[in-house]
Homo-oligomer: A and B are copies of this chain.
Amino acid sequence: MEIDTLATRLTQGDRRALSRAITLVESTRSDHRAAAVKLLERVTDPDRQALRIGLSGTPGVGKSTFIEAFGLMLTGQGMRVAVLAVDPSSARSGGSILGDKTRMDRLSRDPAAFIRPSPSQTELGGVARRTREAIALCEAAGFDAVIVETVGVGQSETMVAQMTDLFVLLLAPGGGDELQGVKRGIMEIADLIVINKADGALKAQAQSTRADYAGALRLLRKRPGDPEGFPKALAVSASEGTGLDTAWDEMQALARFRRESGHWDRTRAAQNRHWFEEAVRLGLMRHLATDPQSREAMDRLGRDVADGHLPPGAAAEKMLNLLLSRD
């Protein structure tokens, strides 16, 4: 399909076009890459903004059940919801292997929803670019909310926090976050801590876990620019659907506050700039590793350095002069 046609269909909200576009940004082939850059440039519209929600939780907390119930509630209110999964360590069952759509059967059949499984395993730098670009495509396709799901045990949470507007940590009742295997540092980036499974035999324990976290969060310093009471702890039951509306109200309240205070725009601007600088850095490293002339020079100078005839610093100067054509 022509990039122009793909861009038009995508901005009209066509889910198949979105799917194809994401496949394009996931590709590492250089002609695909060029097309992806062109497509993103074509469809980028600063006035089309979704609420980007980072969601993290270790296996067993009921993440799929939560996303499905939460997503259906939003589509029930007339919204369009996209779910992207990030799992750089993806060799686990579930995820990309069993397929995220199987995990969220009802949501995946909802025409107002779009679910994209995690791409196959690759290095974190690549995962970051693909996820960021997939989010941008979902926004361009007119989705109102984009949920970016991570498993809470890797290094991907900080990365996802750098590309979302708010971050939700999902926990199970009982056991502290450390016992649940949540990586240190995730607590610090969470805007909302949601204790799931507040139903049946676990209801009381979920409530007391919530109270424990609420107490702990009061001790933490409020983040500059955030309203009183955030970060906040809530208890929900994804399977019974209770508390999801409150969770959504809180997310909207926080988002509204941040929009009105200017925090939202500042954060998005800083995020965009961060990813731009990161992309330049990665692009330079890729150029060194793949451009034939650069590789030849790196190899040639590398040999002189390896046998001790040329100091590393002098060789680097020669390489930089070649690369930056400043000789």
Contact = CB atoms under 8 A, between A and B. Distances in A.
A291 B273 CA distance: 19
A41 B302 contact: no
A294 to B, nearest CB: 9
B313 A40 contact: yes
Contacts of A206: none
Contact of A285 (B281, B302, B311, B315): B281
A315 B272 CA distance: 10
Given A37-B313, A41-B311, A280-B316, 7 more contacts: A40-B313, A41-B314, A269-B307, A279-B313, A283-B317, A291-B324, A323-B324
Nearest to A139: B308
A67 interface: no
Contacts of A214: none
A251 B316 CA distance: 32
A277 to B, nearest CB: 7
A41 B310 contact: yes
A188 to B, nearest CB: 22
A253 interface: no
Nearest to A319: B280
Interface residues of A, number: 51
28 contacts: A37-B314, A37-B317, A38-B314, A40-B311, A40-B313, A41-B314, A44-B310, A46-B308, A136-B311, A269-B306, A270-B306, A272-B308, A275-B305, A275-B312, A276-B301, A276-B305, A276-B319, A280-B319, A280-B320, A281-B285, A283-B316, A283-B320, A284-B284, A284-B323, A287-B324, A291-B324, A323-B324, A324-B324
Nearest to A320: B283
The 8 nearest A-B residue pairs measured at CB: A46-B308, A279-B316, A269-B306, A275-B312, A276-B312, A40-B311, A276-B305, A41-B314
Contact of A279 (B37, B312, B323): B312
A36 B313 contact: yes
Q: Quick one: which of A41, A276, A278, A323 has the most chain B CB within 10 A? A: A276
Nearest to A132: B312
Contacts of A153: none
Interface in A7-44: 36-38, 40-41, 44
